[in-house]
Amino acid sequence: MGSFRFEATGIEGIPEVMAGDDIAAFILEASHQGNISSASRDILVLAHKVISKSEGRIVRLSAVTPSPFARNIAQQTGKDPRVVEIILGESRRIVRMARGILVVETHHGFVCANGGVDSSNVGPGVVALLPKDPDASAEKIRRELQERVGAQLAVIISDSFGRPWREGTTDVAIGGAGLGPLIDYRGQKDNYGYEMKASLIAVADELAGAGELVLGKTRQVPVALIRGFCLVGTEGRGGQLIRPPESDIFR
């Protein structure tokens, strides 16, 4: 169970990331410059774009030739047909098209707008894709950081998702390492003796949302440090947050 108090701090000073850059080194240098030391049980929340950029998951629109199918969808949604072609390449299936919105299921299993393809904070004429394997990316960063600082850490890779029935987006965990993404209270009894049957808490999503509050969309702070939460060291991965089709009543 987590402690009743934790703090989130944005790590400023991380430079623009390019393909092949050492993200762990950037985080450690920025932390040093900001007098932020790493301690065991710290959690690092990374905006997915720094991972995508370092892994070369950036596509120039000028290099994309849209298919007739992509052009047809572009006409229906008002989107750039080149962007639609990229979205289709990142998708298993189209879930819904309406009011200019294209919701798809990605090859990871995420159901989200535009397959995670995003043009913000990457520059003109290019788009960023989600990391191919966010859990593997999180584990790589965690291993590199732990080897250099000698502390037990957890890493969450986050992205902004919209939500049915509610306005606004919130950051969620699309990848993780060193932290169980779920807290399961099912089978436990509350203070009145009632046995809880549906209390499965998406703690990694909640931590991603907490991290986003100190990152923001325009401050160019892509990494947050969360300290004081007590589940670091439990095993898990972000993929556990994807609901299996057999238990998803909306499919």
Q: For the domain that residue 74 is a member of, what is the CATH number?
A: 3.90.1660.10
250: in domain: no
Q: For the domain that residue 238 is a member of, what is the CATH number?
A: 3.30.1330.100
The total of structural domains in the chain comes to 2
Residues found in the chain: 251
Measured CA distances, 80 to 57, 114, 249 (Å):
19, 12, 33
Domain edge (last residue) among 76, 110, 128: 128
Domain edge (last residue) among 128, 146, 164: 128
30-44, 97-111, 139-153, 188-202: segment of lowest average pLDDT? 188-202
Domain edge (last residue) among 128, 162, 188: 128
Q: Which pLDDT score, from 0 to 100, does residue 3 have?
A: 47
Q: Whose CA is closest to 130, among 238, 246, 202? A: 238
Q: Which pLDDT score, from 0 to 100, does residue 186 have?
A: 79
Residue 34 structural domain: 7-48+133-244
Q: How far apart are CA 221 and CA 96, in angstroms?
A: 33
Average pLDDT over residues 40-59: 96
pLDDT tens-place string over residues 14-25: 999 999 999 999
Could you tell me if 67 and 165 lie in one domain? no
Q: Which pLDDT score, from 0 to 100, does residue 121 have?
A: 82
Side chain identity at residue 121, one-letter code: N
